Amino acid sequence: MEMVQKMLAGSDLSLARLITLVERDAPEVPEIMGSIYPHLGNAHFVGFTGPPGGGKSTLVDRLTAVMRRRGFSVGIVACDPTSPFSGGAVLGDRIRMQQHYLDKGVFIRSMATRGSRGGLPRAARGVIKLLDAFGRDFVLVETVGVGQTELDIMEAADTTVVVLVPEAGDTIQTMKAGLLEIADIFVVNKADREGADYLGMELEQMLRMSSRESSWQAPVLTTQAINDIGTEELYQEIERHREVLRDTGRLSLRRQEQRKGEFIETIEQGIRARLLELVERDGRLMASLERVEKGEVDPYSASMEILTNKTLLQGWLAELERER
Amino acid sequence: MAEERRIRVLMAKPGLDGHDRGARVLTLGLRDEGMEVIYTGLRQTPDKIVEAAIQEDVDVVGLSCLSGAHRYLFPEVVEGLRERGAQDVMVIGGGIIAKEDIPFLKEKGIDAVFGPGTPVKEIANYIRENAKRK
């Protein structure tokens, strides 16, 4: 594919347009992903999650500056929510990253979550791969930051940074089984505010009590992103985590898991999409749907009627076969 | 399967004035019209706007300027996009722009100019009907 060749040769315009295709789940996506596959594996993926307004964008901006000073190139994927009502979105993370606009070593892409309900758009994984193939040393992914549903990022990233602010003190209770477990690094940002030390201490205590695997103990850092305090230390912890992942073999294990997951997910999505199309065209099903809508029959019994109807299912399969 | 086409818009304020109410109103308005709007904030230089438009792969760049420098700043953006091979991106402008300047701006490649008080719906419809990219 010509656009892929241009992107691999360094064209950011081509990269941008490929990202759009992946975002749109265009028919070319399998071909694109296939042709970039041999060029993957160089980048380290770092995910940033945590409550909105915690300073993730600013932290990403300052961290990018640290990485650039060391000569690394950076790709940034910044996510914001899609409106469930209009389908539109305001993507405002970029506003915090203005110092990098003219730097060819930094590529920033804003993404709306579109159909995804978690903090990460469905296409984000494909997009970070494109940035990897483009030759970026680090790919920083900033999630929407809605709290408990942020587990997607853990699966997509090599290092997950959870960014909290002192005001989040009380919410620690609620994240016992959520964010707390996915973090490889904790950051207490806006550390000049009251309660930062207390939150840091509380986190450390909780971590010490947990019995997770021991090759990596998540550190707790305090930062003031806006004043560029603590970002150098954050960079060093990311590097340290990367080395541990590599040395213990967990990085390649993780990549294996990711590949497996994507394989199954892609098949699942493809089948579901095609099946839904068929279902929409099926008169018998539409009739049941109408009865369910009117409340004449409950949704469970109605769906069992469909799922146990072998001729119906076989009809769909045959139609799938024909369309292929 | 393939998602429907989602129009992406970059809203930018070139020049030195600090009045971004108009740009913000339009940002929210176009969001409500189902578009993805990337807001880049105040005091952007034309080359920064061009780079952002390229990376974000937008269909439309919306420029707002109230300082009077639009005759210089708007065409710079159009020219920059052209140089980078993104001449298919629509460029529209707004702000305090004298009527006499509109033909000049159009000649320089600005697709449309919307003055104060233009309903958001009108701008959204214009974008939907005229966005050049497929």
CA dist B31 and A92 (Å) reads: 12
Would you call A90 and B32 a contact, using CB atoms and an 8 Å cutoff? no
| Superfamily the domain A40-248 falls into | P-loop containing nucleotide triphosphate hydrolases (3.40.50.300)
What is the structure's pLDDT at A155? 81
What is the structure's pLDDT at A66? 97
Q: Which of B31, B77, B133 to probe by mutation at the A interface, max A CB count within 10 Å?
A: B31
What are residue B34's phi and psi, to 5 degrees?
Answer: 90, 15
A48-73, pLDDT tens digit by residue? 988 888 899 999 999 999 999 999 99
What is the structure's pLDDT at B2? 47
A277 touches chain B (CB under 8 A): yes
Question: Which residue of chain A comes nearest to B37, CA vs CA?
Answer: A90
Would you call A90 and B35 a contact, using CB atoms and an 8 Å cutoff? no
What is the structure's pLDDT at A182? 83
Would you call A273 and B1 a contact, using CB atoms and an 8 Å cutoff? yes
Cβ-count burial A17-55 (b if 16+ within 10 Å, e if not): bbbbbbbbbbebbeebbebbeebeeebbbbbbbbbeebb
* Residue A213 vs residues A172, A250, A305: alpha-carbon distances, Å: 21, 12, 47
CA dist A108 and A142 (Å) reads: 11
CA dist B76 and B110 (Å) reads: 10
Q: Answer whether B31's CB lies under 8 Å from A90's CB.
A: yes
The mean pLDDT value for A111-131 works out to 88
DSSP letter for B17, please.
-
Would you call B57 and A88 a contact, using CB atoms and an 8 Å cutoff? no
CA dist B115 and B98 (Å) reads: 9
Query: Does the pLDDT of residue A121 top 60, yes or no?
Result: yes
Q: What percent of chain B has pLDDT over 70?
A: 96
Measured between beta carbons, the chain B residues lying within 8 angstroms of A25 are 1-3
B114-124, pLDDT tens digit by residue? 988 899 999 99
B45-79, pLDDT tens digit by residue? 999 999 999 999 999 999 998 888 888 999 999 99
- Find the helix or strand (DSSP H, E) in which A152 lies: helix A151-156
pLDDT bucket at A78, cuts 50 / 70 / 90:
very high
Of A82, A90, A109, the CB nearest to B56: A109
What is the structure's pLDDT at A178? 67
Q: Per CB distance under 8 Å, which residues of B are interface residues toward A?
A: 1-3, 5-6, 8, 27-28, 30-41, 44, 47-48, 51-52, 54-57, 84-86
- Find the helix or strand (DSSP H, E) in which A34 lies: helix A29-36
Order of strands across the sheet that contains B8-12: A89-91, B36-39, B8-12, B60-65, B90-95, B112-114
A84 touches chain B (CB under 8 A): no
Question: Which residue of chain B comes nearest to A273, CA vs CA?
Answer: B1
Sign of CA dihedral B70, B73, B75, B78: negative
AA identity, residue A205: Q
A102 touches chain B (CB under 8 A): yes
Measured between beta carbons, the chain B residues lying within 8 angstroms of A274 are 1
Would you call B33 and A273 a contact, using CB atoms and an 8 Å cutoff? no
In terms of phi and psi (left: phi > 0; alpha: psi -120 to 50; beta: otherwise), the region of A135 is left
What ipTM was predicted for this assembly?
0.91
What is the structure's pLDDT at A283? 79
Domain spans, chain A: 40-248, 260-323
A232-255, pLDDT tens digit by residue? 999 999 999 999 999 999 999 988
- Count other Cβ atoms within 10 Å, centred on residue A144: 25
Segments in B57-107 forming alpha helices (H)? 70-83, 101-107
- Give B96→chain A minimum CA distance, Å: 24
Query: Does the pLDDT of residue B1 top 50, yes or no?
Result: no
Query: Does the pLDDT of residue A207 top 90, yes or no?
Result: no
Query: Does the pLDDT of residue A167 top 80, yes or no?
Result: no
Domain spans, chain B: 8-129
Residues comprising chain A, all counted: 324
At the topology level, CATH places domain B8-129 in Rossmann fold (3.40.50)
